[in-house]
A and B are shown apart, each in its own frame.
Chain A
Amino acid sequence: MNQIANSDPAVVIIGSGAGGGTLAYELTAAGIPCVLLEAGAFIKNEDYHNNEWEAFRQMAWLDARTTSGSWRVAKDFPGLPAWIVKAVGGSTTHWSGATPRFRDYEFRAKTTYGDIEGATLLDWPITLEDLAPYYDKAEIAMGSTHRHGRAALPANNNYKVFANGAERVGYKQYATGPYATNAEPYDGRPASIQDGFNFQGDKNKSKWSTLVREIPRALDTGLLDLRPDSHVVRITHGADGKADAVLYVDKDGNLHRQAAKVVCVAGNSIETPRLLLLSESNRFPTGLANGADHVGRHYMRHMTGSVYAQFDKPVHMFRGETMAGIIADEAPNKPERGFVGGYYMETLSLGPSFLAAFVEPGAWGPEFAAIMDAYANTAGMWIVGEDMPQASNRITLSGTVKDQWGLAAPNVHFDDHANDTAMRNYAYEHAQKLYEAVGAVSSHRTPPYPSTHNLGTCRMSERPEDGVVDKWGRAHEVSNLFVSDGSVMTTGAAANPTLAIRQAEYLAGALKAGNL
C-alpha cells in the first residue's frame, strides 16, 4: 500500500462508502494518489455474520446520536436515528442494492411541484442529461441486473407474491431489478446463492459494494493510502480560507494531522454536516462552508414504510435476495393522488429477530404475537418515495451529549411534511390492496425504520445563498473542499456512486490542470 506522509499535502477523502470509496477508486485509477480516512474497521466479507443483531452490532454506526421532532423514530429509537455502516465500504456493505434512476423532472422539483408550503424545494444545478453517462458507468460498475446486458435475478418466494399481486391490481412496471447483485458471474464476482443476508453484508460477494470492487482496485493501483479506524474530527484551514489539513483520532484515541491540498467529505448525511459544524473557526464561526446557513438543513430520509402481509400458505420470504423486486407504477408524479412526487414498492424481508423489533415498535400482547406466529406465511414490501426538504429538518450539534471522543454528538431533528404523510398513507393502502389481491388474510402497516437513506444536508445549488456546494460538489465558500456523498442531493432520490464518478472526473481534470 502506498504511504503518504502526514506532512505531504494530499488529496484526502473522508469516508469509504458509496461516495468516498468510489471517488478513491476513480482518482487513483486516474493516477492521483489519495489518503482515504475511514472511521470504521477493515472488516472483510468472510468476517460478516449471518445473524441480524450480530451483524448490526459488528458494523452499524453506534456512536452517540440524539433525536428530536415528531417522527416516530425519536420515540422508539431515540439514540438510533439512522442505520449507517461504520466500516470500510460504508453503508454499501449493508445496502440492498436497488438501483432505479432518477427521473428528469425530479431534478426540477421546484419547477415541477411548484410552491409547497413548508417545503424548501429547489431545482438541481444539473439535469438528468448531465448525469446519464455517469448512471451508465455506475450501473456497469455495480452490475445492475436488467441493465447493460446483465441478466435478471430469478423470482424468489417474496417476489412471487409481490409480482402476482402487482399483476392483479393492474400494475405493469414490476421486475426483479434493477438490483446491484449478480444473477450470473460478472466482474470477477460470483452469482448470488440467494442466502438472504444482504442487509448483513453479503459473504458471497455477489452484491456490489465499494468493499468488493472500488477499494481493492484502488489499493491495486498502488496509489491509495487507506487508513481504517481513523475518525476525522476537524478540517482546518489556512489564512487564505482554503482547507489545509484534517485532524483525526485513531482507535486508541491518539490525534493525528494529515496535510491536505483537497479535502473530500463523504461521511454520509449525518456525519458530513456534523464534521463541517465541528470545524468552526474565527473565520467560519458557524461551521465550515456554512456562511449561508444551509449546512445540516433540508435533511431528507425518503418517505418510507413497510407492509407485512400474512397468508394461509407458506411464503418463506427470507429465502433469497432481500430486495430483488421493484414496482415502478407509482413512481411518476401524479398530483391527483393528493401528493406530489412518487414512490417505489420494493420487496423486503426481515428475519424474526429484526421483525420483532421493527414491525410495530413498542407493541406486545396477543396481537403482536400473532404477527410473529405468522412468520413463515408472511410476505413483505418497503415503500420508498420522495420526501419534502424542510429547513427545520436538520442535523445540529448536541449541547449536552458527547461521543466517545468527547465531541458534541449530532442531533437529528425530523418532522414529516404533510406531503410525506399523504404519500405514505396512499402507499400503505395500495400495498395492502396488492396483497389482498393475492389472498392475504391480514396485513400490517409498519412505520419507518431508522433512516437508511440520508440525504440533503449539504445540498447542491446554483446560487451560493441557496445551498452548500456547487454542481461539482465543491463548497461555495471553500474552493478546495468537496462534499462527495448523498448530502449533496438537492432533493430526494438518485444513486450516490453516480455523482461520485462524475465528481471524480471533474476533480481529476482540475487537479491535472493545476486548478485546485
Chain B
Amino acid sequence: MNPQVAIIGTSQTKFEADKGYEDIPETVFKVVQQAMAEADIDRDDLDSIVTSSVDLWDGRTASNQMLTDVVGSIMKPESRVAGDGLGAVFQGMLAILAGASEITLVVSQCRGSLGVHNEISNWVFDPIYQQPLGLDYLSAGALQANHYMNQFGISQEDCARVVIKNRRDAQNNPYAQVVKEATVEEVMGSLMWAYPIKEMDAAPVSDGACAVVLASRHKAKALSKEPVWILGAGSCLDSHYLGDRDLTGGDALIRASNAAYGMAGISDPLKELDVAEVSAAFSYQELLWTELMGFCNRGEGARILKEGQTSLGGSLPVNPSGGMIVGNPVTVAGLTRLVEAVLQVRGKAGDRQVRGASRALSHGTTGCCGQGQYVMIVGN
C-alpha cells in the first residue's frame, strides 16, 4: 500500500543544559517557524496541531497553555499528548489518516532545567505504594539494568561502550549538548548513582524543543520536493506497575516494532534498515532496545556494538546523532529521533550522515523503563 502520511518539515533546537536565557514560547516559536518554513507553509495551511509536553516537567497544569500563541493554534484544533513527542506524531498521523486533517504540526518541548529530575520522576509512580520509597526513573532504571545485565551476562564496560560510541558520534552533531569524548575508564570511574548506573551512563539534564510538519499524501506531493514517508508505525503500552512487568522481556517494544516492520514490509531489520535513532536514557537501554527491536538476538546487543555493527559505517548505525546520552529532554527525545531519521533519509544529516540511507527507524518511549513504546519507520 502506498504510504499515506509524509513528513515535509522538521526542526530542532540545539540542546542545552539550561536555556534559561529565553522563555519557553520563544524557544518553541523558533522551531515552529523553522519547520513551517522548511515545509513552505504558513499558518493558514495548518489544519491541526498536536503538542507534547508534561505538566510535572513544566511546573504547571495543562502545560500547553503557554504554547497556544506560538504553535499557531488560535482558533484551530489543538490536542496535546502528555508524553513523548513521537507519541504526538502518532496522534497527528491518525488525524490525517482519518481524513480530519491534511497538514498537522507536531511540536514537543521540555525543560529539564526547571525542576528536579528525581523529584519529578518520583511523581510518576503510585503515590501510596511506590512514591514514599523514593522510586524514580533512575532507581527504576537501575533495577531494569541489573535485571537485563544479569540475564545475559552484560558487563558495566559493555554499557560504557554505548557512551563511548555516542559521545564520539555526537562530535558530528551540531545540536548535541554533550560533545566531549569519553573513555571506558572515565565512564567506569564516574560517580555511582544507582548500581550499576553511573553518572556518565545517564542522559544529562537537558532543555530543547522539536517540531515536524505532517502532510497527507496529496498535500505532501503538491507541496514538497522531498517528502519523507511514514512507511511503518507501531506503538504499545506495558502495565504501569513495575512489579507486573518482565523488565527484560520488553514485550511492548517487540510488539511495537513488529507492527512497524509489518507495515513497512521489513523482515530483517539489521539488513533492511539503514540507520536507527533510539531513545535510550541510560546506556544499558540502547543495548536492550536494539535487541528487542530485533537488530540481533537477545543478549547480543553488546556484541554487535563491540563489533562496530551499530557504529557509523557499520551495517546498522544506531544513534549517529549521539542519542539521548548526549542530551535530549525526556519528552522531546522521541521527536528528536524522528527529526534525525528524516534528515538521514533526505541525505541532510551533515557529518553524521549514513551514506545512502533510504530507510530509517525512529524510536520513542514514555514512562519508566520503556512502559510505552513507539516505533516509526520513515523512507523516501
The answer to whether A binds B is no
Interface on A for B, CB 8 Å cutoff?
none
